Amino acid sequence: MNMQKITNIAEFEELVESNEPFFLLKHSTTCPVSAAAYSQYQSFVEDPSFDKKGVYLAVQESRELSNHIAQITNIRHESPQVIYFTDGKAQWNESHWKITKDQLISVQ
């Protein structure tokens, strides 16, 4: 299962309304910390044992979407940031250097 890039609110709302569990990465394309988190996230999502959806957005390209997610989840925007959703609600989030494959594995 590969990572899916989302770019707009409609795509995000469709994911939430499906009520399926998914991980979302807010990725900054210009930040070295975010590049490291992206690599960890990609390794997590592409692991054969991963059985959920893994999506990401590029903050610079999808600012409106990023702000919308912060507003509806009540989770202050940071990047990089991973949010785990189940039953259409944000259940967990972490940011910056705390985004590691091992940490992500422990959440699901």
Measured CA to CA, the distance from residue 99 to residue 42 in angstroms comes to 11
Longest Cα pair distance anywhere in the chain, in angstroms?
33
- Predicted local confidence at residue 1, as pLDDT: 56
Q: How many residues are recorded in the chain?
A: 108
Give the residue carrying structure tokens 């590691």. Answer: 100
- pLDDT tens string 17-60: 999 999 999 999 999 999 999 999 999 999 999 999 999 999 99
Measured CA to CA, the distance from residue 14 to residue 81 in angstroms comes to 20
On the question of pLDDT at 87 being above 90, the answer is yes
3-state secondary structure of 61: coil
- Predicted local confidence at residue 72, as pLDDT: 96
HSE, side-chain direction, 13 A CA sphere, residue 22: 23
Q: How far is CA 107 from CA 5, 44, 48, in A?
A: 21, 11, 16
Query: Angle at the Cα of 27 (from 3 to 87), degrees rounded to 5?
Result: 60
